[in-house]
Amino acid sequence: MPLGNYTGSSEEYISHIGYSFTRLREAALSVALPRKDQYRLCSMKGMVRLLVFTILLCPLFALYMFGLFVSPWISLWRLCRTIIVRHGYMWSGEKRNLKPALLVLYSLALLQGVLFYYWAISASVEKTLVQHVAEAYEIDEDDEARESVSDYLRMIREGCEKDLSFARGRNLITYAVDLMASNSPDNYLSAARILDTLIRQLKPTGDRQHRRIRRMVASASSSDDNTATRFNLTVVNLPGRVVKSQHSLIKNMIGSTLSSDAVKILVQMLDSKDEDGGKISEMRLRAMRIVAHFASEIRLDKIMYGIRNICSLLEHQGSDSSQGSDSEKYQVFLVYSTGIHILSELAKDEENFKHMSNTDGIIRKIVTVIVKCKELHQKEHEEWLSIARPGMQLINRLAASASSKSINVQQLSEFLGHENGTTTLQNMLDCQKCKADTAVQRLLIKTLTQIISMNTSQQNLSSKNKERNKKASIETQIISAMNMSQQNNPPSENIARDKKLRESFIKSLLLKFLDGSDTSFRKLAGESLAQLSLTSLNNCKLILNAQVGIVDALATVLLKDKDEQYRKSAADILEHLCRHYTNSKKGGSAFNNLGVAMTRDIKHVLDEVLMGDSDSRRSSNYVDLHEALASLCDTVNVKLISVDPNLVSDFDTKAKEICEERDLSEMSFSELVRKAKEIVEKHRKRLDDWAFSSDDDDDDDCCIM
């Protein structure tokens, strides 16, 4: 073998030793057993073939396989023998110059053997080094990232053979960045494997181990009893300084170039085609984990179709959940949770959030994901929360945003559009673990309030459209009725589930607000009840029929509670109930107690507004409360009297008592209500003027400083 071609040929030679043994075995079997159904030498011809194979081919194979291992020792032996032999017939005469030639020949052969042994040992050490790196970075034995690490080490070795300073300033991170700069899909995949592996090391050890064990258990087949032998369970934690240094380098080299072509391609890979059977591709899986790590630094306006590619994670179908394996189910969960996490991180930036608000169908996709993962609610509650908690937070922000498209806000009501959506929300209301989680409870209250309010608004709009269609032609009425029956009339079972959900939700809100033992939810519950009571008559009837004496309990909070915010919420709820007040059959007996309670207690409410408190007039909570009280009095005066004129004399009697107690000239109830509204308006104006003057003083102070 020529020395000039030795390096490349030896490396290739070493790497194919195992392959050669395999081919030799196949050749031996083909010689001894010409046909697959023969398991013995069946003829003399077969024995001759085997004998020829053993005598001729096996020695040639041994010479080819082990010749380079033996030749340096033979060369060393011949070299020593040539040097030791100082005299003799062989060096006499014409053969006197043969000794230097043999010394050169044997020296070259020995040098070739030494280099070959060096490459053999280097190849063995390379595998050991790859093993150590894989253990340090917790790379499983069947993970393709090991191949990428091996490619990196091979690149470093080949570069150092030409330039000893080649490895200076190079590491796995720089290698991955260089690969991302190419146009080869294989290089992209190799870079993604390395970056994904390094990023996983930046997570807390407990989280890494939990994910790893879950991944191992999920991917283990049910028939494999020795799961531990399929995975490398050795964990060699990297030093903290190494992890910190890598984190800083990744952030500088990858995070600082989030608008570069490399990251754009990673985001585009999120929308790549999955494998057959719905299994997510390796490139898509690794790309989504890398994007999730840098999601807080991504700017959607710099990546074309970025939000569409990210939302494609929420559209991942996978295999049938009822027939899929545990690994496939876990993979679908991983895709959904990562997609929700990316959107949550993106939403922290206001520009990204505006971009998301203008994206069609984003709320529908989030709602669909939460509903699809309802099976995890009972089995893996913590993992389900990793989807439900940020998902509901996104829904609340997007629905409440002024920049959101109206179609996105309307899609929020799709939670109640099918059985699984209503069941999911009902399970969250009944789940004890969800009740113990404060963050989930807050998000659930806000989400349900918006969903029910939005659904009620759509029903009200549908009713108005029906009334408008009555004035149209007969043909138009028939077509509209058919459309409305197809679009807005859910099945009877959906209506029953919807009603049950509303009842249980309103009862839970009333319990939180009136009980007062849990102050963390009381304010939110009061605000939600006020919003629900404003939207529809049905919600008001559910509130009034939730429990006996509900109006008296609300009136007690209004008149006797010490917290001004709770009193304001009670005033808002009672006002909205009064707005829907009716004594007809449509209202039933639900509003009877409301009229009695308002007739009894309205005097105290109106008297408080007229009396006022000079010490608290500069408090915004005080002014807000009195505005709510005055609005309640005005609604009682307008709505209750218009529905039941017989109440005029009762309210005027209350007004006369107030005038006598305050030494005022006699006025009717409506006049006192008008006077109370004027007083509250003056309080509001004074508060605004005082706040404006305070801002001016602060500005002057800042200028002086």
pLDDT (tens digit per residue) in 338-352: 999 999 999 998 998
Q: Taking residues 458-484, report their average pLDDT.
A: 44
Q: Go through the chain and tell me how many residues it has.
A: 705
Max avg pLDDT among 49-53, 165-169, 543-547: 543-547
309: Cβ contacts below 8 Å, ≥ 6 apart: 267, 268, 270, 271
Max avg pLDDT among 25-34, 99-108, 130-139, 148-157: 148-157
| CA 488/CA 362 separation, integer angstroms | 22
Instruction: With cut-offs at 50, 70 and 90, classify the pLDDT of residue 558.
Output: very high
Long-range contacts of 282-289 (CB under 8 A, 24+ apart): 282/144, 282/189, 283/185, 283/188, 283/189, 283/192, 285/331, 285/334, 285/335, 286/189, 286/192, 286/193, 286/195, 286/196, 287/192, 288/313, 288/335, 288/338, 288/339, 288/342, 289/196, 289/199, 289/200, 289/338
Give Cα separations from 374 to 154, 362, 420, 614 (angstroms). 48, 19, 8, 55
**pLDDT tens digits, one per residue of 214-236:** 444 344 433 444 433 333 333 44
Alpha carbon 496 to chain centroid, angstroms:
32
Contact (Cβ atoms closer than 8 angstroms) between residue 591 and residue 537: no
| CA 39/CA 37 separation, integer angstroms | 6
pLDDT at 408: 60
Contact (Cβ atoms closer than 8 angstroms) between residue 267 and residue 291: yes
| CA 131/CA 126 separation, integer angstroms | 9
Helix axes 492-515, 537-544, angle to 10 degrees: 50
| CA 61/CA 53 separation, integer angstroms | 10
Q: Taking residues 173-183, report their average pLDDT.
A: 83
Q: Is the dihedral of CA 218, 221, 227, 231 positive or negative?
A: negative
Contact (Cβ atoms closer than 8 angstroms) between residue 443 and residue 392: yes
Q: Taking residues 11-26, report their average pLDDT.
A: 60
Q: Taking residues 468-490, report their average pLDDT.
A: 40
- Which tokens belong to 47? 């024995």
- Which tokens belong to 303? 């990546």
| CA 3/CA 338 separation, integer angstroms | 54
| CA 33/CA 43 separation, integer angstroms | 11
Largest Cα span, the chain: 152
Q: What are the two backbone dihedrals, phi and then psi, of residue 320, each rounded to the nearest 5 degrees?
A: -60, 125
| CA 523/CA 310 separation, integer angstroms | 36
| CA 701/CA 705 separation, integer angstroms | 6
| CA 196/CA 505 separation, integer angstroms | 43
Max avg pLDDT among 84-98, 195-209, 245-259, 508-522: 508-522
Contact (Cβ atoms closer than 8 angstroms) between residue 105 and residue 81: no
**Amino acid found at 136:** A
Helix axes 620-635, 564-579, angle to 10 degrees: 20
Q: Is the dihedral of CA 505, 510, 513, 518 positive or negative?
A: negative
Quote the DSSP letter at residue 117.
H
70: Cβ contacts below 8 Å, ≥ 6 apart: none
Average pLDDT, the chain: 75
Instruction: With cut-offs at 50, 70 and 90, classify the pLDDT of residue 533.
Output: very high
- Which tokens belong to 244? 């910190």
For 668, other C-beta atoms within 10 Å of its C-beta total 15
| CA 417/CA 408 separation, integer angstroms | 15
Quote the DSSP letter at residue 203.
S
Alpha carbon 252 to chain centroid, angstroms:
24
pTM: 0.71
Q: Which of 78, 118, 123, 122 is nearest to 101 (CA)?
A: 78
Max avg pLDDT among 23-27, 325-329, 426-430, 581-585: 426-430
